[in-house]
């Protein structure tokens, strides 16, 4: 988990690649990784995501590769077998949590309420989802009551222009799935490079 936390702090933005097929997701990931971004997340509801992940793992052995929208143990298993460095679930999935713990793979578990986020943060990095429904001020308020050291990554409907506000509110990193062609430029502007 410490390695993932360090990578997320450095990356500040995690591109979430939800695409029509694995080849498209792989191409987008290659573009972002070649631009210097250290972390990318494919989603388990993208067709052939596991194949794309395996090819990316071979081509980019030092990249931090995650799989999101992991809602079943089978997807967690496929992600780990393909070389995922971390898993992301949109809500608590006990089978996924147990599998990730058994494999020693960090899990970013989703939550929305302060109680859900506190519970998720006990297992690693909590994913605030859907973040666009509440905004950075909500995260700032929640961070004030979460146990010290809690880590939260907001995801879902966040625009690149809003990333600095989320980081200022206490996010360890921000998951972004749109406007990714501008991400390398914004990433450098954030001082992440």
Residues in the chain: 193
Alpha carbon distance 154, 97 (integer Å): 19
Residue 72 lies in a domain: yes
Catalytic positions, written as ranges: 41, 127
Residue 17: which domain range? 2-108+159-188
Residue 145 lies in a domain: no
Residues of the chain with pLDDT under 70: 192-193
pLDDT at 34: 95
Q: Which residues pair with 110 in a beta bridge?
A: 127
Residue 29 lies in a domain: yes
Alpha carbon distance 62, 99 (integer Å): 24
Residue 136 lies in a domain: no
What's the domain count of the chain? 1
Contact in structure between 13 and 192 (CB atoms under 8 Å): yes
- CATH of residue 92's domain is 3.20.20.70
pLDDT at 54: 97
What would the DSSP string read from start to end of 107-126?
Answer: EEEEE-SHHHHHHHHTTSEE
At 43-52, the pLDDT tens digits run 999 999 999 9
Residue 135 lies in a domain: no
Residue 151 lies in a domain: no
Residue 147 lies in a domain: no
pLDDT at 192: 59
Residue 30 lies in a domain: yes
Alpha carbon distance 61, 162 (integer Å): 31
pLDDT at 16: 96
């Amino acid at each position: 988990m410490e390695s993932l936390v360090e990578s997320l702090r450095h990356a500040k933005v995690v591109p979430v690649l939800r695409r029509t097929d694995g080849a498209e997701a792989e191409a987008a990931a290659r573009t972002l990784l070649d631009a210097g971004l250290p972390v990318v997340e494919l989603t388990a509801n993208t067709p052939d995501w596991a194949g794309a992940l395996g090819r990316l793992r071979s081509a980019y052995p030092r990249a931090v590769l995650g799989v999101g929208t992991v809602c079943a143990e089978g997807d967690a298993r496929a992600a780990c077998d393909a070389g995922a460095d971390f898993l992301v679930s949109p809500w608590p999935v006990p089978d996924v949590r147990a599998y990730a713990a058994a494999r020693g793979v960090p899990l970013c578990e989703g939550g929305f309420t302060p109680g859900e986020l506190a519970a998720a943060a006990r297992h690693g990095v909590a994913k605030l989802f859907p973040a666009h429904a509440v905004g950075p001020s909500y995260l700032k308020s929640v961070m004030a009551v979460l146990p010290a050291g809690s880590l939260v990554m907001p995801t879902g409907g966040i625009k690149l222009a809003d990333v600095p506000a989320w980081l200022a509110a206490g996010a360890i990193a921000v998951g972004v799935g749109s406007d990714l062609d501008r991400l390398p430029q914004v990433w450098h502007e954030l001082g992440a490079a």
